[in-house]
Amino acid sequence: MAVEVLSTAEGRAKTALSHAHAARWFAERAAGTPIPIGAASPPPRPARPVKPDLLPPRDVPRRRTGSPEGRIALLHAVAHIELNAVDLHWDIIARFGHHPMPMGFYDDWVKAADEESKHFNLLCDRLEAMGSFYGALPAHAGMWQAAEDTALDLQGRLAVVPMVLEARGLDVTPGMIDIFTKAGEAETVAALQVIYAEEVGHVAYGSKWFNWLCGREGSDPKEVFHTLVRRYFHGTLKPPFNEEKRAEAGLPPDFYWPLTEDAD
Ligand SMILES: [Fe+2]
Ligand SMILES: [Fe+2]
């Protein structure tokens, strides 16, 4: 089921399949007939639509958010992140299926994938209401890098994807909500608030399972986190941090503050 989502290229088709598979997963869990985890061979990179064109990050044009065009560009960039997130959550299920994990691990990532699918669709709806669509603008090409870098390391994947990248989303989303509030775009504000609330859960799933794996091997989670982020994440963590929401997601300050000092 995960590989099927990863192999579907078009955004709305990918998210429809993601919703359908998540619904089936939870129905079978509720019925006491859980779907076996099995083994899978996920593609090295997920299938993606023909558009948007993917450009190196420095070539993606930046626009001021004071104009409708700028706000469309911002929503387009977030929609691209959400589509990538759908694939990231199904990928962790497919890629690490050979690691024995409790069923709750799969429940969490299926739920996260289901929510990312909703986030992508919400943003596509907003783009379309503003006269644009996902694919109308170029997007960031480097989004799958973190997945490739951590394809062989489950703890590394958890450290970099939910606990660094998705936690970064918690830092920047309030600023985006401000932009759309000032522009009087209430429906976009509502969509971003749904995303903001649910992203706390994704970071929390990351820190829960990261800590669980450290507990199983008897290692110090903070030390392992620092080692793995330095190994796999290209760059440093940038304050200001959303300390409140990071705490809610089980991410203490001594995990991330030391990683801001690595700049060279
Ligand atoms: Fe999301
Ligand atoms: Fe997320």
pLDDT digits (tens, 9 = 90+) for 58-113: 888 888 899 999 999 999 999 999 999 999 999 999 999 999 999 999 999 999 99
114 CA distance to ligand 2 middle (Å): 10
212 CA distance to ligand 1 middle (Å): 23
Q: Is the pLDDT of residue 262 over 70?
A: no
How many C-beta neighbours within 10 Å does residue 28 have?
Answer: 13
Mean pLDDT of the residues in the chain: 96
79 CA distance to ligand 2 middle (Å): 12
Q: Is the pLDDT of residue 1 over 60?
A: yes
- Does residue 215 or residue 59 have the better pLDDT? 215
For 7, the 3-state DSSP assignment is coil
d(CA 119, CA 163): 19
As residues whose CB is below 5 A from the ion ligand 1, the structure lists 82, 116, 119
214 CA distance to ligand 2 middle (Å): 22
Tell me, what's the pLDDT at 63? 82
pTM: 0.97
120 CA distance to ligand 1 middle (Å): 7
- Nearest ligand to residue 195 Cα: 1
Amino acid sitting at position 255: F
Tell me, what's the pLDDT at 74? 97
199 CA distance to ligand 2 middle (Å): 5
Tell me, what's the pLDDT at 186? 98
- Nearest ligand to residue 161 Cα: 2
Amino acid sitting at position 14: K
Q: What percent of the chain has pLDDT over 90?
A: 92
With cut-offs at 50, 70 and 90, classify the pLDDT of residue 57.
confident
- Nearest ligand to residue 119 Cα: 1
123 CA distance to ligand 2 middle (Å): 14
Q: Is the pLDDT of residue 28 over 80?
A: yes
d(CA 156, CA 163): 10
pLDDT, average across residues 20-24: 98
pLDDT, average across residues 238-256: 97
Cβ proximity of 98 and 206 under 8 Å: no
Read off the pLDDT of residues 148-184 as tens digits, 9 standing for 90 and up: 999 999 999 999 999 999 999 999 999 999 999 999 9
d(CA 203, CA 165): 9
Q: Is the pLDDT of residue 264 over 70?
A: no
Amino acid sitting at position 144: W
What's the chain's Rg over C-alpha atoms?
A: 18
